Amino acid sequence: MNSLLREFDTQHDTTPFSKIKNEDFLPAFKKSIELAKNEIDHIVKNEEIPDFHNTIESLEYSGEKLGRISSIFFNLNSAETNDTIQQIAQEVSPLLSEFQNDITLNERLFEKVKYVYDHSDRSKLSKEQLTLLDKKYKSFSRNGANLAQDKKAQLREIDKELSKLKLTFGENVLAETNAFEMHVIDKSELSGLPDSAIEAAEALAKSKNKEGYIFTLDYPSYIPFMTYADNRALRKKMSLAFGSKGFQNNQNDNQENVLRLVNLRHERALLLGYESHAHFVLEERMAKSPKKVYAFLEDLLLKAKPAAEKEFSELEQFAKELDNIDTLQKWDGAYYSEKLKQKLFDLDDEQLKPYFKLENVIEGVFKVSQKLFGIQFKEVNNIDTYHEEVKTYEILDSKNQLVAVFYADFHPRKGKRGGAWMTLFKGQQIRNGKNERPHVSNVCNFTKPTKTKPSLLTFNEVTTLFHEFGHALHGMLANTTYPSLAGTNVYWDFVELPSQVLENWCYEKEALELFAFHYETGDVIPMELVEKIKRTATFQEGMKTLRQLSFGLLDMSWHSGDPSSIASVKEFEIEAFKGTSLYPDVAENCMSTSFSHIFQGGYSSGYYSYKWAEVLDADAFEYFKEEGIFNEDVATKFKDHVLSKGGTEDPMDLYVRFRGVEPKPEALLRRAGLMKA
């Protein structure tokens, strides 16, 4: 029998990866869709008067097997994909889109949901039940339930095509990333690069039976090269390759995919009665409207731009004095910023990396979490994984009860997309009196160990690990009845609060002393380095803020208006970047064609949420600093009112319950050095 369809007879009901074959997925999807349809039919044909239990709850728990199989499959498609899995994804995505539409466009089902929505005695429902009722009703009304039949058919076709386009976009970006390698024979061309980067490049070349050194567009290879390589021509080559992903008029070109995606999203929004895709998306966000998002971004831009322009001018002057560079280009930014940082603060990542051995940083994020939330971490070897590099842990509470299962997958591979993310293989829920605990995964792309050195992280990678673990905690500490409201199932502009707030501990002496030990001597990181880390935290913060704002504004430009007249992706992007550009444009490059967050992931009309959540996290961490960064009362409030509650209530209500007041942007501006304390 198909191993995906039988009960998982495993430790903690974990996924039996080694027993699953690629050919199991398609029949498992088809069968589980059939089972889910039967569950929906049962709700529709039930002759009892529709109520919360027989309609809303039954709908919530329908398709459970399908959801589990989907999470397993699409997580593999991101972390350990291959041609077969990608082909299955192209076949399956339209089926899932069609099934979702079968639910939201089912008139008899919507009649029952609407009846419960209109006739329930709300005083007898808990806050979580009220939220679920509201969410289920809106999932129909916002997705075509009130449309005429011909419009419903149109919506189905749009959704089917969108599901395939997003996959194709991501496959093209991955193919472009994998297709490029820069092969260097002469070691003298690598001056400036740290030994660790050279050693990793040499190991990669050897693994491909080649002489010399190979550099790729994977972050652990790309970032050190752009930051340290003295050879400007090679930096340019790498930069052009990175910036032209999906923009090379080849079989992996994404220009038409971008235009088709934004036009279909706009068409879909109009069909549903919204002015634009952004209006549709933001109705279910803390920000509520494109107008409010633009006001938020432009207010920050007003405050950050003068600082950014001043910082850029200083960087240009520094590059001119140092190397007689007349015009600072994009491939110069990281290199001269690092040189300037070293000059101003006498600090560079190579000084810090020996104190950030990957295993120690993992132990550090565990210790910080234990001190804050009273949970313990136990590495185990009896849980099946999808790749030998994946580590597994049991997360336990103070009574030794299981809180969550945690998968950690930290190094780049050919079948893994770039970047870092948190995901679930199984969500949390309370059902039939049992609190089913979640299976949470963090996937990153950190430098692999070499023959002579362990995996040593840059400080930016340390904050990335803490960031993703913040998301993981949101999933692990979930404690809600309904799975669709658990953990990270919150408004998109609230989801980054737990991740971004945890980054703050990376800058604190009290936290660093828990894990920042020199990998050779065992010495704790010196106080002078800790002070330098804190001083450099606001280095070029104006430029960094401007960069994030530019991405948010590009996203809103694509999605807040009518895109039907856009002929050139590149020209549209130049216009969108006009108010935030510092470097000269590079004709060969285009960001949109590899902007996976908004064209493959779930951030369309939501990229602003990173800055939005920074306002929340800076305000929240000021509270921790006022009371002590490991203060038990504050940590318990954060756990009880934010992490465990998921999307059961309005996020601002949850935040105010934790903090006592609504957040103010001044905390972020103070932390960023853009406003005096």
How would residue 451 be classed by pLDDT, with cut points 50, 70 and 90?
confident
Reply yes or no on whether the pLDDT at 409 is more than 80: yes
Q: Is 180 helix (H, G, I), strand (E, B) or coil?
A: coil
List pLDDT tens digits, range 136-194.
999 999 999 999 999 999 999 999 999 999 999 999 999 999 999 999 999 999 999 99
* pLDDT for 369: 98
Which tokens go with 118?
């209109």
- Whether the pLDDT of residue 563 is over 60: the answer is yes
459-476 and 496-503 are packed helices; what angle lies between their axes, rounded to 10 degrees?
Answer: 140
For the cut 90, the answer to whether the pLDDT of residue 601 exceeds it is: no
What does the pLDDT read at residue 350? 87
183-191, Cβ contacts within 8 angstroms, sequence gap of 24 or more = 183/210, 183/212, 183/213, 183/214, 184/212, 184/213, 184/214, 184/215, 184/234, 185/211, 185/212, 185/213, 186/212, 187/212, 187/213, 189/231, 189/234, 190/229, 190/231, 191/229, 191/230, 191/231
From 468, 508, 614, 622, the catalytic residue: 468
Give the residue-averaged pLDDT of 564-569. Answer: 98
Q: Residue 534 pLDDT > 90, yes or no?
A: no
Mean pLDDT, residues 545-565 taken together: 97
Average pLDDT value for the chain: 95
In degrees, rounded to 5, the angle at the alpha carbon of residue 90 between the alpha carbons of residues 88 and 93 is: 100
Q: In this structure, is the dihedral angle defined by the CA atoms of residues 645, 647, 649 and 651, taken in order, positive or negative?
A: positive
Render pLDDT for 229-271 as a digit per residue (tens, 0 to 9).
999 999 999 999 999 999 999 999 999 999 999 999 999 999 9
> Which single residue is written with the structure tokens 């430009």?
557
pLDDT surpassing 90 at residue 424 = yes
Q: Please check whether residue 384 is in contact with residue 17, taking contact to mean a CB–CB distance below 8 angstroms.
A: yes
Identify the pLDDT of residue 672: 86
Averaged pLDDT, 311-325: 98
Q: Is 677's pLDDT higher than 60?
A: no
Which tens digits make up the pLDDT trace of 197-210? 999 999 999 999 99
Taking each helix axis as running N to C, give the angle between helix 255-271 and helix 149-179, from 0 to 180 degrees, rounded to the nearest 10: 160
Reported as a pLDDT band with limits 50, 70 and 90, residue 476 is very high
SS (H, E, C) 10-64: CHHHCCCHHHCCHHHHHHHHHHHHHHHHHHHHHHHHCCCCCCHHHHHHHHHHCCH
- Range(s) for CATH 1.20.1050.40 in the chain? 11-104+106-142
Q: What is the CATH topology of the domain spanning 11-104+106-142?
A: Glutathione S-transferase Yfyf (Class Pi); Chain A, domain 2 (1.20.1050)
CA distance 166 to 126: 37
As a whole number of angstroms, the distance between CA 281 and CA 260 comes to 18
Q: Which residues pair with 440 in a beta bridge?
A: 406, 424
Tens of pLDDT, residues 641-666: 999 999 999 999 999 999 999 998 88
Hunting for tokens 């549903």 — which residue is that?
272
Residue 468 annotated to the active site:
yes
Task: Tell me what pLDDT residue 140 has.
Answer: 94
The alpha helices in 142-276, defined as continuous H runs, are 149-179, 195-207, 219-228, 232-243, 255-271
Position 676 pLDDT exceeds 80 = no
